[in-house]
Amino acid sequence: MTVQHKTAAAATPVHRLKTGAEFKATLDDGRQIWIGGRKLDKVTDEPALAAGVELIASMFDDQFKPEFAEATTYVEPASGELVSRAWQVPHSPEELAARRKMIEYTSLKTAGTFGRPPDLSPAIVAGLMAHREAFKDKKSMIEGCDPDFVENIEAYMEFGRSQNLTASESLAGPQTDRSNPKAAEMAFLRVTKATPEGIFVSGAKTVGSIAAQANDIFFTNLGGLTTTPPEACVWGAVPINTDGIKMISREMVSQPGANRFDHPVASLGEEADQFIIFDNVFVPKQKIFNLGDPAGMSWYGPVCVFAHWHVLTRLAVKAELFVGAGQMVLDVLGTGKIPAVQLMLGELIEYAQTLRAFVVAAEALAKPTAAGVMTPDVSMLTAGRLYSIENYPKIIHILQELCGQGLVMRFGKDAFENPEVGHYLNDLLPGHGVTAMQKELLMNFIWDMTSGALAGRVALFENVNSSPAPRLRARLFEEVKREAFVDQVKTIAGMDW
């Protein structure tokens, strides 16, 4: 990793930033990945993974560009070093708003198709930092290993920050027979052995987005389960190439190597979700944040508030992309004066503005935790995520409908440039004030965002990632305090009970 030292002549502080090339070098580490029964020698042997790696590498290079510096980096007050904003722990409303710039940057960089870009996992570590006071008095409930949870949380945040680390996170367990509690319990990642130096864990995690393209895996069993057996109550992190970790990738759905004209988004690659096997994996004592304590697992919700803020912000950015694409459709088809079409675009605008309003409200109502970390309002985040998943399918359909036959009848660059038939396409398919190829590029973008295989996977992920609507409503029931509303009714109605 490049480390720049401050000199009398230097105008910039010491930095702890990787270049894109340095990031890519960290991935050639012997990690074990299988795709379709084929074991990769290295992650970049799979074209879709390689394209995604290049996209992430460009984010590292952007840290050194003036136009992206504010969004991607900041000076850490404790060290005076220039570091990635992904690892910023906000202590004021201003710092919270500044951290959001990184989310907006990665969302635009990936067109919102990476549900877990490189700055998502650090948001969970920030959540642990925000609530580390709750872990101060907790002790290991697994005999033989006694980590200091708070010390480890603080050290891991500093480790990630100083290494410009890219981490993945996987909280969900494998899908099993839901009618059999024992089957679900058996799928938990669990401690098989404890030593003074650390623990050994076995089991599996699923939907490990970006794991194949990251340095570390940050893991736990999905929290809030007070019946989770002590050996399954574990939070920790290890390098993704640790002995015993095996990744089995889902099917690729992007279009790596495709002409950028034909697939403006899908050609960029993807975050490939991994089924991650832990086969007697050693987790050092210093990388354990909870061990054996079911009450510690119940902090999953509060700890993940920053991750949920990330999700909602990314959805707001993507919604704004939908509005931009919709406006361009009206422009190139010349349909902007049709009242019905205006109303359709109005629905896209309503969706985007509402999601943005939830983000703004969550930040406006943010409060510091006992550890002094400024934390967004959880009920606004939950309500915003609920609104997003309920409306996402409708918004996609509206954008498709605005395009009409443009999405059904698409042609690639090769067809337009073919000397025998290309001139027909160019002559017969122009838009309002644009060439046929310019119109086609817009349709290709919208196809990738709403209709192709990548778009289908993203739509499914958004729903699963946010939790089903009934579960979010249950969370709202728990999160929103209603006593003040009841008192208002009593006061107005003169009720004395």
> Could you tell me which CATH number the domain at 297-493 has?
1.20.140.10
Sequence-distant (6+) residues with CB within 8 A of 157 are: 87, 89, 125, 126, 128, 129
Contact 202, 280 (CB under 8 A): yes
- Nearest to 237, CA basis, from 208, 272, 270: 208
Task: Please give the structure tokens belonging to residue 341.
Answer: 């079409």
Can you give the pLDDT at residue 188? 82
Sequence-distant (6+) residues with CB within 8 A of 48 are: 252, 253, 254, 256, 269, 270, 272
Residue 29 CB-half CA count within 13 A: 18
- Which amino acid would we find at residue 256? P
pTM more than 0.85: yes
The domains of the chain are located at 297-493
Q: In which order are the strands placed within the sheet that holds 38-39?
A: 38-39, 33-35, 245-249, 274-284, 198-205, 190-195
Residue 236 CB-half CA count within 13 A: 29
Longest dimension (CA), the chain: 85
Per-residue pLDDT of the chain (497 residues; tens, 9 = 90+): 655 544 444 467 899 999 999 999 999 999 999 999 999 999 999 999 999 999 999 999 999 999 999 999 999 999 999 999 999 999 999 999 999 999 999 999 999 999 999 999 999 999 999 999 999 989 999 999 999 999 999 999 999 999 999 999 988 888 888 777 666 666 789 999 999 999 999 999 999 999 999 999 999 987 544 467 889 999 999 999 999 999 999 999 999 999 999 999 999 999 989 999 999 999 999 999 999 998 888 888 899 999 999 999 999 999 999 999 999 999 999 999 999 999 999 999 999 999 999 999 999 999 999 999 999 999 999 999 999 999 999 999 999 999 999 999 999 999 999 999 999 999 999 999 999 999 999 999 999 999 999 999 999 999 888 778 888 999 899 999 999 999 999 999 999 99
Can you give the pLDDT at residue 184? 65
